[in-house]
């Protein structure tokens, strides 16, 4: 399992999936430390880029040490997508040039789909073609897409959408094996991912329900995918990438100690503070730290304390006390 985008090759095909509110720079850097080969930013509004919104510029900024990394856009208007892509390629965010521009056609949340964006686009393969083609024409870097199985169970059209994206010039297709209406419930359909792999010639990345080495290996086997993208399975668990590499190579899967979990949670928090400042980083870190300590003794009590902790030093003291 491996793939290539432009001039960049990925030996194991291990990707961190984009997740709004989670896959910020701190998480991307920590996942890279543990073996993730390809990152994608949180999704960014193409329209907000064209408005030169200050917060959006920060979301678009990619550091050299987190490359290779794609920048994910969402939108539904050809002209806006093209303008935003052109601005990114011209150095709009003043960071590293992204490895690719990824178009979000998979987000199922109502505030996105209600504006005919994200997975709402699964309803219209003709528009998918047009959006991809417009973005490709405006870009000097590869364009990829993230799709779902379909809009709902009566409209499973991932192959049709993938073919439209490929015809528009997409260099890679990532498929989440759920429909829009499923949101994140039920199970991801691996059969539809396998069908997309069979019907397109560009690399196909499988996404959905990959939480450990075993689920990664079975996904690879059942879909013949070129790579896998891990989202929720990597939250509080960046170690999963190294474990998957060990499994692929036929080696013993490394275990993770509670001490390592705590140290990595604190590292991620420090990286977030560098970007966002202490107050915001500490607040936003609570949901991630909860995943780092999930399943350990006294996790509920520790989580309650961390939710009331106002500073890094307070969080550090609480977590270090846990591993004394």
36-57 burial, b at 16+ Cβ within 10 Å, e below that, comes to bbbbbbbbbbbbbbbeeeeebb
Q: Which residues are catalytic?
A: 107
**Residues 32, 54: Cα–Cα separation, whole Å:** 27
Q: Is the dihedral of CA 278, 284, 286, 291 positive or negative?
A: negative
Residue in 254, 255, 209, 213 with CA at minimum distance from that of residue 233? 209
Structure tokens at 85: 């892509």
**Residues 263, 315: Cα–Cα separation, whole Å:** 12
Burial class (CB in 10 A: 0-12, 13-18, 19+), 253: middle
**Residues 68, 182: Cα–Cα separation, whole Å:** 31
Can you name the residues that pair with 154 across neighbouring β-strands? none
Tally Cβ neighbours within 10 Å of residue 310: 11
């Amino acid at each position: 399992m491996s793939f290539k985008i432009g001039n960049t090759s990925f030996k194991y095909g291990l990707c961190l999936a984009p997740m709004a509110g989670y896959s910020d720079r701190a998480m991307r850097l920590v996942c890279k430390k543990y073996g993730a080969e390809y990152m994608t930013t949180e999704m960014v509004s193409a329209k907000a880029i064209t408005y030169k919104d200050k917060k959006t510029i920060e979301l678009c900024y990619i550091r050299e040490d987190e490359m290779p990394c794609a920048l994910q856009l969402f939108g539904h208007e050809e002209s806006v997508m093209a303008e935003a892509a052109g601005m990114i390629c011209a150095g709009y965010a003043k960071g590293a040039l992204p490895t690719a521009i990824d178009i979000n056609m998979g987000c199922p949340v109502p505030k996105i789909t209600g504006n005919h964006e994200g997975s709402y686009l699964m309803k219209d393969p003709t528009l998918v073609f047009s959006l991809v083609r417009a973005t490709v024409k405006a870009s000097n870097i590869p364009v990829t897409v993230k799709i779902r199985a379909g809009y709902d169970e009566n409209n499973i059209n991932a192959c049709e959408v993938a073919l439209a994206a490929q015809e528009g010039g997409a260099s890679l297709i990532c498929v989440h094996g759920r429909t829009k209406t499923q949101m994140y419930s039920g199970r991801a359909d691996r059969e539809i991912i396998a069908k997309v792999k069979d019907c397109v010639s560009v690399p196909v990345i499988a996404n959905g329900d990959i939480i450990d080495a075993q689920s990664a290996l079975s996904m690879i086997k059942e879909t013949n995918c070129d790579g896998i993208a891990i989202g929720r399975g990597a939250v509080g668990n960046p170690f999963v990438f190294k474990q998957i590499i060990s499994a692929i190579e036929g080696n013993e899967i490394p275990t993770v100690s509670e001490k390592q979990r705590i140290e990595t949670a604190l590292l991620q928090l420090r990286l977030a503070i560098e970007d966002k400042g202490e107050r915001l980083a500490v607040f936003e870190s609570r949901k991630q730290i909860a995943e780092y300590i999930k399943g350990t003794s006294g996790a509920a009590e520790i989580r309650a304390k961390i939710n009331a902790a106002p500073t890094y030093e307070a969080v550090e003291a609480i977590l270090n006390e846990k591993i004394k």
